[in-house]
Amino acid sequence: MKYVEILAPVGNMECFKAAIKAGANAVYLAGQKYGARKYAQNFTDEELKTIVEQAHLYNVKVYVTLNTLLYDDEIDEFLEYVDFLIKINVDAFIMQDIGAIDLVSKIYPDMEIHASTQMHIHNIEGVKLAKKLGIKRVVLSRELSMDEIKKIKEECDIEIEVFIHGALCVSYSGECLMSSLIGGRSGNRGECAQCCRQKYTLINNDKKIKDGYLLSMKDLNTIDHIKELIECNIDSLKIEGRMKRPEYVYLVVSIYRKAVDSYLKNKEIIITEEDKFELKKIFNREFTKGFLFNEKNEDITNEYRPNHMGIELGQVVKCINNKVFIKLSNDVQIKDGIRFVDDDKGYILNNFYIDKRLVKQAHKGDVINFNYDKVKINQNVVKTTDSLQIETIHNLINSEMPKIKLKAKIMLRIGALAHLTISDGKNIVHAQGDRPIFMAKTAPVNFERVIKQIKKTGNTPYEITDVDISIDENIFISMGELNDLRRRVINELNQIRMYKKNIDKKSYSIALNNYEVESNKSIKINTLDQYEKIKNLNFNSIYTDRLHIYIQINSDKRVKYIQQRVMNTYRKIDSTTMINELGSLNYYDNVETDVYFNVTNSYSVAFLHSLGVKKVTLSYELNENQIKELIDNYTKRYNKHPNVEVIVYSYPVAMISKFDLIKKYNLKGNTYLEDKYFNKFKIESRNNLMNIYFYKPIIIKDYENLYKIGVNSIRADIINDKDLDQCLKLLKM
């Protein structure tokens, strides 16, 4: 039977238990550090050790997320943590930071590494590079379609993991700087403040177009498409939700388990409408099939509400004397959570009435009433928590763990050693007694007593369901010896199931060229007029990401083209090209890396230089002290100088999205998103992607200090002529 992994999210011990009970093949989780869900409960070192042991007993793999960008002052502690995780036998690391990946793969070449979706791998060239780097599995960007994934699977022999259910980011993962720029909480550091779930006003040519949660994506739900996913030979089906409750983990995993198993067994998906309804009840922001199955641009967001939508419950029919009356379109019971839709008020139904009769439950068509503040008449009411659903799942999670079924075979022959064999269907374990069996003088051991003793597995996770026994008549063997045989085979089976990988530690080394210390200035332009204004100034490099501009001015040897952040096709460029994503690193030879490559430490700079990258632009998320530490550490470690650039003036693209508001509302002209503080974020639609610019520029006025700490080049990014004038003044040109 084909193996298809169901990968479950685990945020605490209860969620881990839920995932195991529901039938997950693997779980992904984080310890207290370096995971991209910093505000999940996550796990202590002792809990991680326990989880790995228990998971392996149940043939479940454990993947630990180390998928944040790292700063130089964290590397030593990071490596100590990696050492610990390897010692406790985790199965794989899910990683984002390119320098950390290179470091871990050189020190532990046999350790399995998965490329996080935060790495922004969205095309075949990116997948090919991951394979070259020794990465075993790629978690693809959620923006890819099934056709694109099929093509990748056909062209590259590497494991592919795809998200199939749960929350979606509106921006390409790893490419969102909004939370970091607004409040210093970096999504690349596990601190995302969920800016996409906030309210905005869409403004076009100074006219208000729409209010609402304009960037809030619906939840992904592919339960109707399991057949296509399996037949595409995707290796791992990933469920999102490390911040979710255990009941959510259990329900979602169990329903997808049911779908996968039914297809693998019968080539038919056996999922009922009730199953789908249960998924909706437990949590939904409304559902979408996602870009994975070519959802329409206008149908992928839920502008009305950014959190649980619940299910329809009824309508407010009247309010009298602080009593609310609701006519039900669905069943309800005490302890259910409800929300009045128009008033946006939530309430727990600790008690309610039908007429004047106190009841514990009510059904479709009933009119219930309860004491509550006055609310709007005729508004809809939804159920946001189904207490019966939660209680039922909670009891399933907390029931006894399923036993692992074993078969045993025992031979008891006079004059020979006792011999016991057990098998779990995959592994076979043997044990022999210490002395020959002799004939009984008074009370021989009978057949039933031997079977009863062998089946006593106690509080182990095993159940011996079948015993094949071959026994002579009138023999004697002590119960202690039978117990000892059973304990020995069980202990040995434990060791086999809790397999220990032998991963040797190597030394880290890397070959690098030296770069001269320089004090260069670069500029990025958008128009020919801007080029005309700066072409005679003393800029060392002139960049543009507008291909038509590049073609017209590339006779100027300083001009370099900046590739897009999302690449579906590649065009050969004669001059040096600046790149923003991993696929370009595989495709192009003569490259520099741009700011959206997310470089935050000296190991990433070294790795990129070792691949021939001539200049590395550092992340917006580094401050001057961190830049200094990066350069100092690079110089000390490698006895060479790096070639790094820092942007000193820019309106950063805070989000880049396949979803497009301009396209959705068919807008032309100047378009902005305005937040609740009246900050205006410019929106631009280019190459079928939406770019959302930060509302104010990043400016480093004391850029001369950057030269002093070892930065070789500073750069200004220009949007319009007003920017150009400010930048030339800043750069004293």
Phi, psi of 408 (to 5 degrees): -125, 150
The packing angle between helices 387-397 and 246-266, to 10°, is 70
- What are the tokens at 730? 């800043």
CB 683 within 8 A of CB 668: no
Residues 289/275, Cβ–Cβ less than 8 Å = no
Q: Which 3 state secondary structure label does DSSP give 264?
A: helix
> Given pLDDT bands bounded at 50, 70 and 90, which one contains residue 190?
confident
Taking domain 5-168+217-291, whether its CATH number is 3.40.50.1100 is answered by no
Per-residue pLDDT, averaged over 63-84, amounts to 95
Concatenate the DSSP letters of all residues of 620-667 into one string: TT--HHHHHHHHHHHHHHHSS---EEEEEEE--EEEEESS-HHHHTT-
The b-or-e profile of 354-371 (16+ CB within 10 A means b, else e) is eeeeeeeebeeebebbbe
CB atoms within 10 A of CB 91: 19
Q: How many CA atoms lie within 13 A of 130 on its CB side?
A: 34
In whole angstroms, what is the distance from residue 287 CA to residue 299 CA?
10
The pTM assigned to this predicted structure is 0.95
Sign of the CA dihedral with 452 first, then 457, 461, and 467 last = negative
Distance CA 282, CA 501 (A): 38
For residue 546, give the H/E element and its range: none
Position 668 scores a pLDDT of: 96
Q: Which of 348, 393, 390, 389 is nearest to 370 (CA)?
A: 348
Residues near 689 by beta carbon (within 8 Å), at least 6 away in sequence: 564, 566, 656, 657, 658, 660
Q: How far apart are CA 562 and CA 528, in angstroms?
A: 16
Amino acid at position 211, single letter = D
Eight-class DSSP state of 123:
S
The per-residue b/e assignment along 171-193, b for 16 or more CB within 10 angstroms, e otherwise, is bbbbbbbbbbbbeebbbbbbbbb
Structure tokens at 559: 């001009």
The pLDDT value given to residue 119: 97
**CA-wise closest residue to 369 among 314, 414, 423, 424:** 314
Tell me the mean pLDDT in the region 115-125: 97
pLDDT at 98: 97
What average pLDDT score do residues 217-225 get? Answer: 98
Residue with tokens 């590339």, as numbered in its chain? 554
Tell me if 210 sits within 8 A of 303, measured CB to CB. Answer: yes
Cβ pair 604, 626 in contact under 8 A: no
Q: What does R_g of the chain's alpha carbons equal in angstroms?
A: 31
Place of tokens 């410019």: 682
Compute the mean pLDDT over every residue in the chain, rounded to the nearest whole number.
95
Q: What percent of the chain has pLDDT over 70?
A: 99
Could you tell me whether strands 520-525 and 713-717 are parallel, antiparallel, or unpaired per DSSP bridges? parallel
Does residue 699 surpass a pLDDT of 60?
Answer: yes
Cα–Cα distances (Å) from 176 to 170, 404, 592, 654, in that order, read 9, 44, 21, 6
So what's the pLDDT on residue 139? 98
- CATH class, range 311-397: mainly beta
- Tokens (6 digits) for 660: 């497009």
* Matching CATH number, 520-651+697-730, of 3.40.50.300, 3.40.190.10, 2.40.110.10, 3.20.20.60: 3.20.20.60
Average pLDDT over residues 708-716: 97
- The residue written with tokens 């100027």 in the block is 556
286 and 220 Cβ atoms separated by less than 8 Å:
no
Q: Give the closest residue to 698 by CA, choosing from 631, 651, 730.
A: 651
Over residues 463-472, the pLDDT tens digits come to 999 999 999 9
Q: Is the per-residue pLDDT at 227 higher than 80?
A: yes
Written as six digits, the tokens of 441 are 């003088």
426-435: average pLDDT:
94
Contact 153, 147 (CB under 8 A): no
* CA within 13 Å, CB half, 173: 26
Q: Where are the domains of the chain?
A: 5-168+217-291, 311-397, 404-497, 520-651+697-730
pLDDT of residue 1: 53
Asked if 97 and 189 touch (Cβ cutoff 8 Å), the reply is no
Give 17-49 pLDDT, tens digit per residue: 999 999 999 999 999 877 555 555 679 999 999
- Residue 575: pLDDT band with limits 50, 70, 90: confident
pLDDT bracket for residue 333 (50, 70, 90): very high
If DSSP codes are grouped into helix, strand and coil, which group holds residue 444? coil
What would the two tokens of residue 696 be?
């104010």
Q: Residue 140: how many CB atoms within 10 A of its CB?
A: 25
User: DSSP class of residue 161?
Assistant: E
- For the segment 347-365, the average pLDDT, to the nearest whole number, is 96
pLDDT over 60 at 660, yes or no: yes
Among 89-103, 105-119, 172-186, the range scoring the smallest mean pLDDT is 172-186
Q: Which of 237, 232, 209, 173 is nearest to 8 (CA)?
A: 237
Residue 464, SS3 per DSSP: strand
Spatial CA neighbour of 218 closest among 142, 149, 115, 313 = 142
Who contacts 732 (Cβ-Cβ below 8 Å, separation ≥6)? none
b/e per residue, 392-427, with b = 16+ CB within 10 A? ebbeebeeeeeebebebbbbbeeeeebbbebebeee
Residue 556 has pLDDT above 90, yes or no: yes
Average pLDDT over residues 110-122: 97
Would you state the pLDDT for residue 41?
A: 66
Residues 612 and 589 sit within 8 Å (Cβ to Cβ): yes
Counting every residue written for the chain, the total comes to: 733
Residue/partner pairs of 443-448 with CB below 8 Å, 24 or more apart: 443/476, 444/473, 444/474, 444/475, 444/476, 445/412, 445/471, 445/475, 445/476, 445/477, 447/471
> Closest Cα partner for 27 from 14, 38, 39?
14
pLDDT band for position 255 (50/70/90)?
A: very high
pLDDT at 39: 56
Q: How far is CA 476 from CA 13, 218, 242, 425, in A?
A: 47, 69, 56, 31
Domains 5-168+217-291 and 520-651+697-730 share a fold: yes
